[in-house]
Amino acid sequence: MKRPPDSDIIEQIVTALAPLRRSKTQAQAQVGAKTAIAMLRMEASRPFPNSDSIKKTTRKLHEALEPFGDGQQIPLNGCDRHMMTIRELRSALDWFEHLEGPSSKVDVPKHLAAIQADCLVNEFSQKPPTGGYRVREIAGFLYEAITGEEGAELKRQAAAVRRSWRDLEHSRGR
């Protein structure tokens, strides 16, 4: 699918940010939109690990290490440290087993577009947004810029991003 010119999408993003940007200029909004698109193109092209497969591999490795004692040492090659204990390896595996991240069900480019849109809206708003309309709208423009797909609905991704920020603020006791 052919992507529309960046200038068109940047203009749409600047227009969507216009009601929010009280203290910011149009030029600052354009720079923010260009930067967001550039970052998304770079990040969306990278392969992302799947947390489900990481957890599955971690469990298998835990099972394989069961016969060994915690104090047993493992030689390491290619690093400054030459030995590691089984206890240290198990501790690292525990960390990986509780890893939260994208599963195979997550559309990573859509999620990244929602994160960037949320950052733009927060940067250009005087007060933190309470609704997700602007985030959804801008996320759709950003997603279109990196994939060429018009009219993609990112309501679920935008809501997930807003919810994660809200949960973080509540956990900090704000």
pLDDT tier for residue 141 given thresholds of 50, 70 and 90:
very high
Could you tell me which residues come within 8 angstroms of residue 151 by beta carbon, excluding any fewer than 6 positions away? 140
Could you tell me which residues come within 8 angstroms of residue 16 by beta carbon, excluding any fewer than 6 positions away? 134, 137, 138, 141
Instruction: Identify the residue whose tokens are 């994160």.
Output: 115
Indicate if 69 and 143 belong to the same structural domain: no
Distances in whole angstroms, Cα of residue 69 to Cα of each of 29, 53, 73, 107, 141: 58, 26, 9, 41, 55
Indicate if 88 and 63 belong to the same structural domain: yes
pLDDT tier for residue 17 given thresholds of 50, 70 and 90:
confident
Print the domain residue range for 128: 6-47+105-171
Report if pTM > 0.75.
Answer: no
Indicate if 42 and 15 belong to the same structural domain: yes
On whether the CB atoms of residues 117 and 132 are closer than 8 A, the answer is: no
pLDDT tier for residue 159 given thresholds of 50, 70 and 90:
confident
pLDDT digit string (tens) for 81-137? 888 899 999 999 988 887 766 666 778 888 889 989 988 888 888 776 666 788 889
Q: Which of 31, 66, 97 is the last residue of a domain?
A: 97
On whether the CB atoms of residues 24 and 146 are closer than 8 A, the answer is: no
Domain count, the chain: 2
Q: Tell me the average pLDDT across 22-39.
A: 87
On whether the CB atoms of residues 154 and 115 are closer than 8 A, the answer is: no
Q: Which of 70, 97, 124 is the last residue of a domain?
A: 97
- Spatial distance between the Cα atoms of 55 and 112, rounded to a whole number of angstroms: 22
pLDDT of residue 172: 64
- Alpha-carbon radius of gyration of the chain: 21
Domain assignment of residue 1, yes or no: no
Instruction: Identify the residue whose tokens are 């423009």.
Output: 141
pLDDT tier for residue 152 given thresholds of 50, 70 and 90:
confident
